[in-house]
Amino acid sequence: MPTIQQLLQDHFDALIEGGRLSAPQYRAASALRNYRTAALGGHVQRCPNGHVERVWYNSCRNRACPQCNGLARERWLQRTRARLIDCAHWHVIFTIPHQLNILWQLNTPALMDALFAAARDTLLELLADPRYLGAQAGLQLALHTGTARWICTRTSMHW
């Protein structure tokens, strides 16, 4: 089975030509394609007596890389699972139209507050309705974006 790196090495140019990658996607794909290759540089490890010499290439350190971030992601999942109560859970995604991206960039805190409030209010209203769940739900809200600047900057629990 090919790795993500092999797929990107074989098809990266086609992805670029298609013009379908945003700047963050381009940076992530480029980093993953060059993971532990000479393109990212490296260092040489030598035996003090000169018997053995080995080249170690640098990792990409990209948050999307399963090699660089796999262990950290698994630890985060374990911590998150430990906080959850033993009942059914749903992953719900709220998003804004891409046409509002420029407004988001110009006033991120206000739009983030509005998005969180809309998501919270919508879910609490729907889940309290007897036609759906008829209960007071617990919510964990987290922000995930395509750039590292705002990832998980606000997480809150509402009961």
pLDDT of amino acid 145: 66
Report the chain (159 residues): mean pLDDT per 10 consecutive residues: 86 84 83 84 87 85 77 86 81 86 88 91 92 86 63 41
Q: Who's near 67: CB < 8 A, 6+ residues apart?
A: 35, 36, 59
Give residue for tokens 């509402």: 158
pLDDT of amino acid 16: 85
The 8 Å CB, 24+ separation contacts for 27-30 are 27/62, 28/62, 28/63, 28/64, 28/65
pLDDT of amino acid 146: 60
